């Protein structure tokens, strides 16, 4: 568990160093994620220890963003002032996102069914 | 009155220590999970939402500042970084499925991702929201640790993004069923991919309960859209001239 956590933190560290060094607007941990995925694809599956640590962390992802979510307490004023804009933006964009992804993927899958040899 | 003095003393001491914020966060989470189980995992009993609401109420009622709370909560918050890297493990497990349908998945997910982010930012901007809110809305379809990191990089407010991400997840979960029916999106793969792309883990955990394939495609969409959004959103924000 400690070894796996060390590996994850090292990837985050390398990602953060690269981000700071290059000034890329991509978060350091995401660069770490891309590097870790690249490593796994090239050198084979994660061992049991890493798999277990990743599973445990992701199982409690909901808990991990509670502290940041509570930060809304300092933003209540801004949130209230812009409530209609925020609600409309989220409702419309989420509906569009679901539709565009779903319809496009459904189109690809139906096309394949229609032409089994394609 | 005199007998209350030691109590105030202890309270004042605890407010400067990390222990209280940490204990409060863990207790709120456990309580929220119990309520969620009791209610049968409804979209509106999401444990993160319940825990955040409880803690916000406690902070407001006790007059505790967010900074005082965060000196303890930071120990939980810190784990978001390693958890983001840990997403590589389920993405690796899903890689055969991604490779088999590489072009359809990438095109569908990319289109949905860009449309969701662009429409959210344009609508908020047209309705007069300030830049910090508009930018914080951009990554709202993505899983929270990545969304907050992206918001931070673009000059948004990570705490607001966390709230937008949760609202998006709950809204997406509530409407995806009727929407898929109306738009004749019948295939579980397409449904799962759409849910994971537009409404991340909250909608995906809903799809997992309906169908295993839909859950797997939701899972791969969460990781892929996180990476795609982190790479593409800075370009979109620049194009919009925000």
- With beta carbons under 8 A apart, name residues in chain B contacting A83: none
Best to test chain A binding among B82, B132, B156, B170 (most A CBs inside 10 Å): B82
Whether the CB-CB separation of B151 and B139 falls below 8 Å is answered with yes
Q: Please check whether residues B95 and B203 belong to one and the same domain.
A: yes
Distance CA B139, CA B226 (A): 9
H helix and E strand count, chain B: 13, 0
* Same domain flag for B129 and B216: yes
**Which of the listed residues B78, B100, B132 is the one where a domain comes to its end?**
B78
Same domain? A53 vs A82? no
Q: How far is B7 from chain A (nearest CA, A)?
A: 26
- % of chain A exceeding 90 in pLDDT: 64
Task: Provide the percentage of residues in chain A whose pLDDT is more than 70.
Answer: 97
Count: domains in chain B: 2
Tell me how far apart the alpha carbons of residues A104 and B190 are, in angstroms, rounded to a whole number.
8
Structure ipTM: 0.89
Return the residue of B nearest to A47 by Cα.
B89
What is the nearest CA distance from A17 to chain B, expressed in angstroms?
A: 13
User: A6 and A59: one domain?
Assistant: yes
Ordered per-residue pLDDT tens for chain B, 242 residues:
567 778 888 888 887 788 999 999 999 999 999 999 999 877 678 888 899 999 999 999 999 999 999 999 999 999 989 998 998 998 898 888 888 889 999 999 999 999 999 999 999 999 999 999 999 999 999 988 899 999 999 999 998 998 899 889 888 988 999 999 999 999 999 999 999 999 988 888 788 778 888 888 898 898 899 999 999 999 999 999 87
Q: Let me know if residue A27 belongs to a domain.
A: yes
Q: Are residues B63 and B91 in the same domain?
A: no
Joined tokens for residue B97: 């499925």
Note the pLDDT of residue A118: 46
Q: Which residue has the tokens 């940041």?
A: A68
Same domain for A46 and A1: yes
Task: Note whether B92 and B208 are same-domain residues.
Answer: yes
State the nearest Cα–Cα gap between A19 and chain B, in angstroms.
10
- Residues A60 and A81 both lie in one domain: no
Q: What pLDDT is attached to residue A7?
A: 96
A 32-51 residues inside an 8 A Cβ radius of B = 32-34, 36-37, 40-41, 45-46, 50-51
Query: Regarding predicted confidence, which is higher, A81 or B205?
Result: A81
User: In total, how many domains does chain A have?
Assistant: 2
Q: What is the domain range of residue B180? A: 85-240
Contact pairs from chain A to chain B, CB under 8 Å: 331
Integer Cα distance of B201 and B206 in angstroms: 8
Cα–Cα distance for residue pair B229/B200, rounded to 1 Å: 12
> How far, in whole angstroms, is CA A49 from its chain's centroid?
22
Residue B66 tokens, joined? 């967010």
Residue B53 shares a structural domain with residue B98: no
Which of A38, A64, A90 delimits the end of a domain?
Answer: A64
* A1 in B contact zone (CB under 8 Å): no
Whether residue A117 is contained in a domain is answered as yes
**Residue B155 pLDDT:** 93
Asked whether residue B227 falls in the same domain as residue B133, the answer is yes
pTM comes to 0.85
CA B159 – CA B149 distance, rounded (Å):
10
Final residue of a structural domain among B23, B46, B78: B78
The boundaries of the domain holding residue A52 are 1-64
B182 and B136 together in one domain: yes
Q: Do A29 and B81 touch (CB under 8 A)?
A: yes
**Residue B88 near residue A8, CB atoms below 8 Å:** no
The answer to whether residue A72 sits within a structural domain is no
Q: Same domain for A81 and A46?
A: no
Task: In whole angstroms, give the CA distance from residue B152 to residue B72.
Answer: 21
Asked if A28 and A49 sit in the same domain, the reply is: yes
The answer to whether residues A53 and A7 belong to one domain is yes
Instruction: Indicate left, alpha or beta for B236 from its phi (over 0: left) and psi (-120 to 50: alpha).
Output: alpha
Out of B25, B58, B78, pick the residue that ends a domain.
B78
Is A58 within a domain? yes
Residues B204 and B235 grouped into a single domain: yes
State how far the Cα of A14 lies from the Cα of A33, in Å rounded to an integer. 10
CA–CA separation, B70 vs B46, rounded Å? 22
User: Distance between CA A70 and CA B67 in Å, rounded?
Assistant: 11
Same domain, yes or no: A7 and A42? yes
- Residue A70 falls inside a structural domain: no
Same domain? B184 vs B161: yes
Q: In terms of domains, do A59 and A97 share one?
A: no
For A27-79, what is each residue's pLDDT tens digit? 899 899 999 999 999 998 999 999 999 989 888 888 988 998 898 898 889 89
Nearest to B159 among A50, A64, A71 (CB): A71
Question: Residue A69 falls within a domain, yes or no?
Answer: no
Domain shared by B115 and B171, yes or no? yes
Alpha helices in A44-82 (DSSP H): 48-59, 61-64, 66-70, 76-81
In chain B, which residue's Cα lies nearest the Cα of A96?
B116
B74 plus B96 within the same structural domain: no
Q: Are residues B158 and B114 in the same domain?
A: yes
A contact residues 7-26, partner B, Cβ 8 Å cutoff: 8-9, 11-12, 15, 25-26
């Amino acid at each position: 568990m400690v070894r796996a956590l060390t590996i994850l933190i090292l990837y985050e560290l390398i990602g953060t160093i690269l981000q700071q060094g290059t000034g890329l607007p991509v978060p350091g941990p995401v660069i770490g994620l891309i590097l870790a995925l690249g490593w796994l694809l090239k050198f084979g599956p994660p061992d049991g220890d890493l798999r277990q640590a990743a599973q445990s962390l992701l199982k409690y992802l909901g808990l991990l963003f509670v502290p940041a979510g509570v930060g809304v307490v300092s933003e209540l004023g801004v949130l209230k002032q812009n409530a209609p804009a925020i609600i409309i933006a989220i409702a419309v964009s989420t509906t569009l996102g679901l539709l565009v992804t779903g319809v496009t993927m459904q189109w690809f899958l139906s096309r394949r069914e229609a032409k089994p040899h394609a | 009155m005199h007998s209350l003095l030691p109590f105030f003393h202890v309270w004042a001491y605890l407010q400067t220590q990390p222990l209280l914020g940490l204990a409060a966060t863990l207790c709120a989470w456990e309580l929220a999970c119990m309520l969620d189980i009791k209610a049968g995992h409804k979209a509106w009993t999401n444990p993160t939402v319940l825990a955040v609401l409880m803690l916000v109420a406690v902070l407001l009622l006790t007059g505790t500042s967010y900074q005082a709370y965060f000196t303890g909560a930071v120990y939980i918050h810190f784990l978001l970084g390693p958890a983001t890297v840990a997403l590589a493990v389920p993405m690796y497990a899903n890689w055969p499925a991604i490779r088999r349908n590489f072009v359809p998945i990438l095109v569908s997910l990319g289109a949905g991702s860009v449309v969701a982010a662009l429409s959210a930012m344009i609508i908020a901007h047209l309705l007069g929201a300030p830049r910090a809110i508009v930018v914080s809305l951009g990554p709202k379809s993505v899983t929270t640790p990545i969304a907050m990191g992206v918001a931070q990089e673009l000059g948004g407010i990570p705490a607001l993004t966390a709230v937008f991400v949760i609202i998006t997840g709950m809204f997406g979960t509530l409407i995806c069923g009727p929407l898929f029916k109306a738009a004749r999106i019948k295939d579980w793969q397409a449904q799962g991919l759409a849910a994971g792309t537009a409404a991340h883990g909250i909608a995906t955990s809903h799809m997992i309960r309906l169908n295993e394939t839909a859950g797997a495609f939701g899972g791969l969409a969460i990781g892929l859209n996180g990476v795609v959004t982190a790479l593409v959103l800075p370009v979109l924000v620049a194009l919009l001239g925000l």
